[in-house]
Amino acid sequence: MDGFFLINKEPNMTSHDVVYKIKKKFNFAKTGHTGILDPMAKGLLIVLINQATKLAFLFENLNKGYQGSMVFNKQYDTLDITGTLTAQKEMLLTDEMVQESVAFFDQKQYLQKPPLYSAIKVKGQKLYDLARKNIEIDIAPRKVKIYHLEMVSALKNDQIEFITTVSKGTYIRSLARDMGERMNTYGSLQSLTRTQIGSYDWKNAKTIDEVSLEDLNDVKSLFTNHQKIVLNDYLVRLVQNGVYLDERQIITDEPFVVLDQKENWIAYYEPIEKNKYRPRYFFQ
């Protein structure tokens, strides 16, 4: 049984906790997720089941949507309110100041410095492990894109509510920090809900307690819009053994799915160079 669940992660739970609980609940052999959601955050977590764990790469570059709240004039070591308060200001802020900061980052591509407390690995060690040991390390900024950023509440007690859509690798905690710095103050994340991963919506997700096997999404749904090619029995046997394909079978710049003559799904292929394609996944 292969596929994926749309899980509504509850706060105060790690992404690993969710994956482990799903594995135990249904006695699956393998489970995995497509992208970490911080323990304080809630919302959409895609959990891959059995052979589908090999398809995590399909989700890596998908945009993500969030809603949440930020607090300004306060700085935490983790860049969110679960951490230790390290500094604060009494700066008078206005809606106009926050709106200017929002407008500055809306639709902006920039180099963003990840939080020290994150799962990024440096020389084999996760940053949050180094941070807990008070080991200072220079983190290289990463190119990110803020596709949409909107303030959806008035400023109250130095707090705002927001919605945003961002590229792969964007940290909303870092965005809160950067928005604060734009106003010459501090910015920290107060709450966060992941609402979207690509076309997958939080509204269709279920909690660990609610989810059932009927909610398992078929792996094939990930390839609905991919080109399909039918090969003869001889070539299908080669495909099943992992052979690369070339222009003799297909000419395309896009990934595709190989079917046999009975329209059984055999393998998913991706181009690696002009007119050369390698298998990335085999259907069971």
d(CA 249, CA 227): 13
Torsion-angle region of 134 (φ positive above 0: left; ψ -120 to 50: alpha; else: beta) = left
Instruction: Specify the pairing of strand 74-76 against strand 64-72.
Output: unpaired
- State the Cα–Cα distance between residues 134 and 131, nearest whole angstrom: 5
Region for residue 227 given its phi and psi (left: phi exceeds 0; alpha: psi -120 to 50; beta: otherwise) = beta
**Which residues make beta-bridge pairs with 42?**
193
Structure tokens at 131: 């941070």
Of 98, 36, 102, 103, the residue nearest 64 (C-alpha): 36
Classify strands 245-246 and 85-88 as parallel, antiparallel or unpaired: unpaired
3-state secondary structure of 132: helix
Query: What one-character DSSP code corresponds to residue 94?
Result: -
Question: What is the C-alpha separation between 41 and 39, in angstroms, rounded?
Answer: 5
Using CB atoms within 10 Å of the CB of residue 109, give its burial: 0 to 12 exposed, 13 to 18 middle, 19+ buried.
exposed
Taking a C-beta distance cutoff of 8 angstroms, is the pair 230, 256 a contact? no
Q: For residue 36, how many other CB atoms are within 10 A of its CB? A: 13
Residues labelled catalytic:
38
